[in-house]
Amino acid sequence: EIVMTQSPATLSVSPGERATLSCRASQSVSSNLAWYQQKPGQAPRLLIYGASTRATGIPARFSGSGSGTEFTLTISSLQSEDFAVYYCQQYNNWPRRTFGQGTKVEIK
C-alpha cells in the first residue's frame, strides 16, 4: 500500500495570505495525484488532478505542483470559503487508491 503523508496537520492562515500544503508519497506515484477540498458536513470536492490540472470550475488561485513523491497544493490568496480540510490522493496504484490524512486550513 502506498502511504500518503500530509503536512502540516493544521495550517493557520489569515484571509488574503498564501497557503502551502504538502503531500508526500511512500513511493513514486508519478503525476497520478489529486487534491480534494472538504468543508464540514459536505462531501469532498475534486480540486486538482494529474498533480497540477485544475478540475472544472476550480478558481485559478488553486494550483498544484510536484511529481514522484513530493507534491504541493498552493492557495495563492485565501478567501473565506477556502477554509476547509484538504486531502491528497494517489491513483497510481490503481485500484488501491489511498488518501493522506488531511490538512485543516483554519483562520488565523
Q: According to CB under 8 A, which one of 36, 60, 61, 71 is a site residue for another protein? A: 36
Backbone angles phi, psi at 82, to 5 degrees: -90, -10
Q: Rule CB under 8 A: is residue 89 a binding residue for another protein? A: yes
Q: According to CB under 8 A, which one of 24, 55, 67, 72 is a site residue for another protein? A: 55
Q: Rule CB under 8 A: is residue 65 a binding residue for another protein? A: no
Site size for another protein (CB under 8 A):
24
C-alpha cell belonging to residue 23:
503531500
Pairing of strands 4-7, 45-49: unpaired
Q: Of 18 and 96, which has the nearer Cβ to another protein?
A: 96
Q: Of 17 and 67, which has the nearer Cβ to another protein?
A: 67
Q: Which residues pair with 54 in a beta bridge?
A: 48
Concatenated DSSP letters of 22-75: EEEESS--TT-EEEEEE-TTS--EEEEETTTEEPTT--TTEEEEEETTEEEEEE
Q: Of 24 and 45, which has the nearer Cβ to another protein?
A: 45
Footprint of another protein (CB under 8 A): 32, 34, 36, 42-46, 49-50, 55, 87, 89, 91-92, 94-102
